[in-house]
Every structure is written in C-alpha cells, then in structure tokens.
Chain A
Amino acid sequence: MKALMSLGALIGVAGLLLLGGMIFDVVPSNTVRLVEGYMPIQLLLEVACFVIGFTGLSYMMNAMGMALPRFWQGIGFWIFLMVYLKYRVYPPIPFSVRAMYGTVGLVTVFMWVSANEEDWSKFKRPIMNVLDAQTGMNRLLRYVYLVLIPILIGGFSFNAMMPKSEEPIELRTVHPAPPASTKVHGKTYTLQTSQNPYRVNPDGKYDQEFSNANIVEQGMGRLMKPNANPWDEKNQGYLKYVREGGEIFFQNCHFCHGDNLNGRGLHAFAFNPIPANFTDPGTIAQLQETFIFWRVSKGGIGLPNEGFPWASVMPPWEQHLTVDEIWKVVLFEYWHTGYYPRTWD
C-alpha cells in the first residue's frame, strides 16, 4: 500500500512540476502534447493521474506528520483545476465553459469535504477558528476579512455595473435547424427522405454500406482502402463520383476549407469564425447528407433566422454549381474525412 501511495505521490509531484514548468516556460509548453484524435480522453486521463497523484501525496505527507489541512486540500484542488483548464488546454477554452467547469468543480469539492461529519468538521475548522478568533492571529484575520470581503464584493459590483465596450458574447447556433424541404435549381428536395444519387453500388443502386466500405480510414494517417483509390482511372461508379467531387472541391472549396478539409485553407484566417472543419466529429459526421446539400446550396446568405448572426461568408453554391456537382462534392467530403452521413434506420 505504502509503495503504491509513494508511486502516486511521485506522479503527483512530477505532474505538478511539469504543469508548472509548461505554464512558466521552464520546459517547452509542448513537452506533453495533446495528441490529435485522442485529446478528449487524454484530458480526462491526465486529470485522473493528478487525482491519483494528489491522493498519494496527501498520504505521504500525512505519514511524515506534515498533513495538509482538509480546508487547504479542497481549496488547493479547486485552484489546480482552474489553472489546468486555463493553461493546459490549447486552444483556450471560452470563459463561459470554464465558468461551468469551475462551478461543477466547486460543488464537487464541497461534496468531497462534507461527505461525512469528520471531514466536514476538519474542513470547517479554519473558518470557525477565524470566526471564533481565540488567538491574536485569528483576530487579525477576522478584521482583515471584515474589511476585505465588502471591498471585494463592492469591486465585483462596480465591475459588473460599469459600462463596457467589450464585444458582446454570441450564442451562435452552429447547426441551425434546416427547413423540411429546399428548392434547388427548380426542384424541391425533402431533406428527411432525399438521398445522394451518387452514393451507389456497382449495380447503380443507393447503397450506403458499399460506400462506407470504400472511404478512407479515420485517424491521423487517413489511409485509402486497398483498391479504393478514386484517382485510379479504372475505378468507376461511386469512386469515380468521389473523384469528380474531389475535383470540384479543389477547384472551389479548398481555398477556405483546406486541402485536408480541416477548415484551414489559404483564406481561412481572413474570416471569423474560420470555415467549418469537416474532420471534426462534431460537424458533418453528425448530420444527414441532405443537411450538407442544403447548406452548400444556400450558403451563408440562406441561413434561417435561427442562424443569427449569420456569420458565414460561404456563397450560395447553387449559383455556381449544378445539383449533380453539389451532390458529388458532398460525397467527396464524407469519403475524404472517413465519416458516414447520419441516417435514422
């Protein structure tokens, strides 16, 4: 047990030193990199390692007679969480999300320190000591808090009331709800039931399983399946349509959406927000193919009211492409990213 806790303590100390070093640029900030594709689970595992490390550290300090009071353990863990979220994760997390996590952190720290009477009384002790003010130090602290707390509250109130010239926050809807149907080049498409006419098997029939078997693999390599190279002239049918879609994409779309379809094209950073990243599992992978067809056809200008503030410069591609070309480019986007369009069966 002691050996395990010592190992935990070692992990805790090493982790803290590394995090501190990366924040203060003592060691390169990418010493422990967040690996693309695995970042969400990596983040959780890192925090879990820290929790194990802190447990070991607490155990060892206790064994050495240098136990950290429960009050400071609770406060310290919460501060660690906030620092971790602020400095460890890149790109930076918006304040609104950090505030949510901070609140959850605070609540759960409270749950931990008050889970039983013994812990709760340990946690309360420093607060009660200051309130009781039996010693000179505590009496002094009580007076300090008496002055400091109203000043802090006053400061916050003043800050909240003071007129500001900051940019307003935006509650932008990333995927506004599409209409039930859309009219492109004079033909009406029902989004619930329409299908990509080029997602076909060798018999020419709509077959998503067939196309799913021929898309590139997900992950960092994004490797093509054997015998499924659209740029092989011999390939016909679905792969030929993917090739044609790719040609359209690289003639029209890649300037903004990037040659890796990750939203980092040549002109991408001229826009705010930058164009959609199709490799992100939160974009096209979440949507029905007809949704993409509608968005591409109607562009930013065709966004519904719900899409306020309509921050999209994408042109309505129906003015430049035929219906067939739009379907093919959609086909290519799914093929290249290795995602499958959403279906409801």
Chain B
Amino acid sequence: MGLLVGKRIFSIVALCMMVGLLLLPVVVALPSLAIGEETHAGDAAKKDGDKVEKGRDVYYKTEGIVSGAPAPKTTDGVKDYPRYNFESRVLLWFANQQHLYYGSFVLAVPIFCMIIEFMGVVTKDKALAKRYDQLAYDFIKISLTAYSLTAILGGILIFTFLTLYPAFFSYLSGIFRPVMHIYALMFVAESGTLYIYYYGWDKMREGFLKWIHLSMSVVLNVIGTLLMFLANSWIGFMMSPAGVDEQGRYLGNIWHVIHTALWNPLNLHRILGNMAFGGGVVAAYAAYKFLASKTDEDRAHYDWMGYIAMALGVAFLIPLPFAGYWLMREVYAYRQQMGITLMGGLLAWLFIIQATMIGILFLSTNYYLWQAMGRMRGAEKYQRYIKYLVFLLACGYMVFITPHTMVMTPAELKAMGGQQHPVLGNYGVMSAKNGGINVIITTTVLSFVWYMRGNKVSTVSWAKFGNIFMGVFFGCAYFNIIFLAVYGYYIPANVRVGLSVPQVATTLSCLFFMFALNSFMMKGAKQMGPIEWGKISARSQYALIMLATAFTWMMGLMGYIRSSVRLFWHVNEIMRDNSPWAYTHTVGFAANMISANVLFFWITILFVFWLGSLTAKKVPVESKAGIPGSVPQPAPSH
C-alpha cells in the first residue's frame, strides 16, 4: 500500500515537473519580453532625445516604434559571406534538411506513442494492451537515440549559419532574440520531459499511474508542437515578413513577427506532414524487420507493427493535401507573384514532381491494403473489383500529374499549335487537379472500407440496405467530385477556388460517414476467419518501403520548393541575398541533392535503428484465446 502511495506521489510530482518545464520558458520569457521591449524602445528614444521614430509594418500596416536595426545590405565578399571553396548554400541545405528529417521524426514518434499507449490503456484485451504498450515503448526508445542526433544536427545547423551566413543570421537573431531564448528553454523542457516519460515507463505501468504516464505524453507533445511552431515562425518570417518596416527594422511587436501571413498554414501542414512521415519511417522499419525475420512469430509481430504505423501515417496523409491547398491559397493571397512562381512559373515542374510523389504515396497505400486482404479469409470477394479501383486511381493520377507547362521540342510545340494543349491543357489547372486528388483519396477510403470488412459478414438486419447505401454514397461522391471539377471551368476563378470546399467535404464525408457506418454494420459480424498476421506477400512490405521513401523524398522536395520561392531574397522583399548563389538551381541538380539527402537520412536512421536494437527486449507474443498460434488482432475497428 505504502509502495503504491509512494509511486503515486512520484508520478504526480513527475507530472508537475513536466508542466513546470512546459511553463518555464513562458515564465522566464514574459518579464524579459515586456521589459526588453520597453527598454529597447526607451533606449532608442533616449538616444534621439525625446523624438521617437515610428515605422509602418509591411504586413499589418500598423505603426510601431522602431526598435531595431535595418536589414543589412550585404555584398558578395568574405565579410558577409565567408566560404570554403564550395557552394555555401548547398552545405546549409544539407545541414538544414538532415535536422528537419530528424526533428520531424522525433516530434512525430511521441505523438504515435501517445496514441498507441492510449489504445493500450483503453483496450479490454489484456494481451493486446500489453502489445500496444510494448510497441509504444519500442517507438520512444528509437526516438530517444534520434533525439540526441536531432540536437547534434541542430548545433551543426547553427554553426553553419554563423560561419557561412553571419550577416543574415545576425539580423534574424536580432529580430527573434526573445523567441530564440524561449526556443532554447523549450528544448530543455522537451528533453527533461522526454527523459522523465521514458525512464518512468516501468514504474507507471498499471492503473492510475498509467493515466499519469499517459498525461505526460500529452505534455511532451504539447512542448514538442510549440517548439515546432516557434521554429516555423522563422521560416514564415523569411517568406512573408511582418512586424518590421520596409527597411526591415523591428517595430517592437514580437507577436506580429511570429504571426506572419503563412505561419498558421505552415504549422498545420508541418504537423500533418511530420505525422505522415513518422508513420512512414516506422512502417519501413517494420517492413525491413519483416523481410529479415526468421520465424513466423517475428513476421506476425512486424506485419502488425507495419500495419499500425502505416494506418497512423495514412490517417494524417489523407488531410495533408487539403492543408497544402490552404497553404498555397494563403501564399497566393499574400503575393500573387509568389504563387505563380510556385505553381505556374519557375517552380511549376517541381510541383509536378510533388504531385507524382503524392500519387505514389496513395498508390502504395492502396496496393498495401489490397495485399493485406490476402491475409484474411473471405476477402477474395473484393479482389475481382480491384481492377476498377486501379482504373479510378490511374485516371485521377494521370490528371493530377499533367503539367500545365509541358516539356516539348519546338517541333512538338508547332505541331500542337500553341503552348496550351486543347485537351490535356485542361488537366493542367487546379480545377481538374482537385478532382484528380479527391478521386484518389476517395478510392483510398474505399480500399480501407473493403479491408476493414474483408473477413467479415455483417449480421445486422439492415445489412443489405447498408451495403446499397454505401455503394450509392460512394457513387454519388465520385459523381459530385468529377462534376465539380468540370463545372469549375464555367465559373469565376475565385468561386472555383471555393469549389474545393464541397469536393473536400465530399471526400471527408466518405471517410467519416462510411467508416462509421461500416463499423456499425460490422459490429458483431460473422468472422470468415482470423487475420493471419505475417501471411502477407513480400510485395506489400516493399510497398511500405516505397511509401516511406516517397515521404522522405517529398519532404526534401517541398522544403526546397518552399525555400527557393524566395528567389534572391533572404527575407522576402526585405533582405536581399547578394551571395554568388542567389539563383535557382536546375531541376536536375535539385533532384540529385534531394536524393543525396534522402540517402544520407536512411543510412543514418538505419544506424539509429541498429542502436535501438542493441538493447531491444524480446517482444512477448501472446496468443489470443480461441485462436491458437496466432497473435491477437490489433485494430479495434476490425
């Protein structure tokens, strides 16, 4: 009893420490923010006697007291751009990208842990609960090693900035001085919380203590997310500066500097992107272990792990294009010029590559699900319809990747009779592309629904009606999406942009209503047979590896696009890049660079996995009652 009370006290103290750590940066920073601004402005006022110079915010159009130096006007030379006998930008690109990969991974994995641990706590099947708990623990262990590497890479990134771009970094850190301090303190808080969470795992395995432990994961993720939001404010400022006047002088309002035009869309896009990426990496890890497994038990475990990671990743992948759409809409609203450079101009071909990668992600997911139906008895009835799903996916994909700016020889151009192809040119614009991607996502939802009911036969009295309703619902959804895509050509562009809302609503309706209806229909359903974990084709595991590689490649690509849209500006329209590298790389060079980054990340993450496996505990495989030799079914929705 005494031991239990002791543990409880320990847990509550640990949780309080975490909350304290979370609040620490805010508490420490608040007075400095308030005092700092006043003294700063006050100092400036003193210097000029009582005369206070005011400036106009370039974005918010408000007036503020000038509290900082103007953005430096750099010149090409060793003073502003010290260098090795190599392109500094490429070095920075490499350091930044690696830090981002690991940063995304260590932010995403604790969110997975939180979800999986929660699933473990609420599930009634004890064997399954244990497996979930073990899985969450395995994840956080991997994350711990990656966390150190993230910090090291962060250090390398700062040194790269300081040594190769001192003028720019000095300006940026001058503007974000208080934010950077809060960021550093948040990092301390994140580290402390992570260690308490990890090392407290065994002590807080049961009952009330488990809930405390789960709460810790919530605190950990809140800190991690805030940390990312702060880092996003820097890139948001570089793309769409605010809180400064035309000369780049800080006007004393730190919230304006943080809350730029693109900050919120970037935040949302990055959260979802990180989650999808994290899911992909863990799924690839599971796939690799599955392929290397020697026993059926190991194969079953890693098959299950891969499925869970894939499902979590895809859950966040589905809304990702919509978040991306919002981001691009805000980019266009902020600067038409920037939007056209991205999607219709200089970087348009990179967007075609991005569309190709998004298509690969969804195709891989669908393929994996079809393969996964192979481990269920009874799923055969859906197999003959797969060819129609393939057709829908292919049509959606082809429309989605059709370029607006086509690559062609002058002879082809002449034969075509103009820059715009009268048939395919229509696929190259947003209205058709929205239709294409929504068809792809709806088809993915349909594949999921088939997968979830693969080995089951509904026993509810209204099963026939339910099936007809679902079929009609999906049919109407496809019709609505395609109709709106065509109708978009006959209405004003600003209304057309709004059409994406009913299209997305249609897709999400399929996702939520059909999943919910399917769950009701499958409640107490007759099982045709168990899910035979481990009995899945090797091709499915290659699909998971493909999924993860495509995620990694796409992250690198999107980071490059987002960064290079500033063209020759360090800070858009405020601080010009006067280094010799203020030009846009060729598509080929960028693709090679992204591939090199992807390769390096995968080599190092394999090292991290290997380190994690050195202390790995053997996962206990417990059989579910009634199904000898098989492992429990993981997904409660099945």
Distance, CA A176 to CA B395, complexed state (A): 29
Which A-chain residue is minimally distant from B413 (CB atoms)?
A273
Residues of A with Cβ closer than 8 Å to B? 34, 36, 39-41, 43-44, 47-48, 51, 55, 89, 91-97, 100-101, 104-105, 107-108, 111-112, 114-120, 166-180, 191-192, 208, 212, 218, 263-264, 272-277, 280-283, 285-286, 288, 291, 306, 340-345
Residues of A within 8 A of B401 (CB): 100, 104
CB distance from A75 to the nearest CB of B (A): 15
The answer on a CB contact under 8 Å between B406 and A96 is: yes
Residues of A within 8 A of B370 (CB): 111, 115-116
Select the stretch in B10-18, B33-41, B318-326, B336-344 that faces chain A: B336-344
Residues of B within 8 A of A115 (CB): 367, 370-371, 383, 386-387, 390
Select the stretch in B1-9, B212-220, B222-230, B487-495 that faces chain A: B487-495
Name A263's contact: one of B367, B412, B418 (CB within 8 Å).
B418
Q: By DSSP majority rule, is chain B's interface helix, strand, loop, or mixed?
A: helix
Select the stretch in B127-135, B195-203, B425-433, B602-610 that faces chain A: B425-433
25 residue pairs from A and B, CB less than 8 Å apart: A36-B422, A51-B391, A89-B423, A91-B416, A94-B407, A94-B416, A95-B408, A97-B407, A101-B398, A104-B394, A111-B367, A112-B390, A169-B408, A170-B407, A173-B348, A173-B405, A175-B344, A175-B345, A178-B340, A191-B336, A280-B422, A282-B404, A288-B336, A291-B336, A342-B494
Known A176-B345, A218-B490: A192·B335 in contact at CB below 8 Å: yes
CB distance from A300 to the nearest CB of B (A): 13
Residues of A within 8 A of B346 (CB): 173, 176-177, 306
Residues of B with Cβ closer than 8 Å to A? 332-333, 335-338, 340-341, 344-346, 348-349, 356, 359, 363, 366-367, 370-371, 373-374, 380, 383, 386-388, 390-391, 393-395, 397-399, 401-429, 431-432, 482, 486, 489-494, 537, 539, 573, 587
| Tally of A-B Cβ pairs under 8 angstroms | 219
Distance, CA A341 to CA B393, complexed state (A): 33
CB distance from B132 to the nearest CB of A (A): 30
Distance, CA A192 to CA B337, complexed state (A): 8
Would you list the 9 A-B pairs with minimal beta carbon distance, nearest first? A340-B492, A94-B408, A342-B493, A177-B341, A96-B407, A40-B426, A108-B394, A177-B340, A177-B345
CB distance from B193 to the nearest CB of A (A): 42
Distance, CA A104 to CA B341, complexed state (A): 27
Most A CB atoms within 10 A — which of B397, B411, B413? B413
CB distance from A100 to the nearest CB of B (A): 6
Residues of B within 8 A of A91 (CB): 415-417, 421-422
The answer on a CB contact under 8 Å between A276 and B419 is: yes
The answer on a CB contact under 8 Å between B493 and A92 is: no
Residues of A within 8 A of B386 (CB): 112, 115-116
CB distance from A29 to the nearest CB of B (A): 15
Name B395's contact: one of A44, A178, A179 (CB within 8 Å).
A44
The answer on a CB contact under 8 Å between B341 and A108 is: no
The answer on a CB contact under 8 Å between B494 and A345 is: yes
The answer on a CB contact under 8 Å between B336 and A283 is: no
Distance, CA A14 to CA B336, complexed state (A): 49
Known A108-B390, A340-B493: A170·B402 in contact at CB below 8 Å: no
The answer on a CB contact under 8 Å between B397 and A104 is: yes
Distance, CA A274 to CA B427, complexed state (A): 21
The answer on a CB contact under 8 Å between A173 and B336 is: no
Residues of B within 8 A of A47 (CB): 395
Which B-chain residue is minimally distant from A176 (CB atoms)?
B345
Residues of A within 8 A of B345 (CB): 173, 175-177, 306
Residues of B within 8 A of A191 (CB): 336-337
Residues of A within 8 A of B371 (CB): 115-116
CB distance from A201 to the nearest CB of B (A): 16
The answer on a CB contact under 8 Å between B405 and A174 is: yes
CB distance from A250 to the nearest CB of B (A): 21
Residues of A within 8 A of B335 (CB): 180, 192
Known A44-B395, A177-B338, A276-B419: A212·B373 in contact at CB below 8 Å: no
Residues of B within 8 A of A105 (CB): 394
Which B-chain residue is minimally distant from A47 (CB atoms)?
B395
Residues of A within 8 A of B490 (CB): 218
CB distance from B231 to the nearest CB of A (A): 27
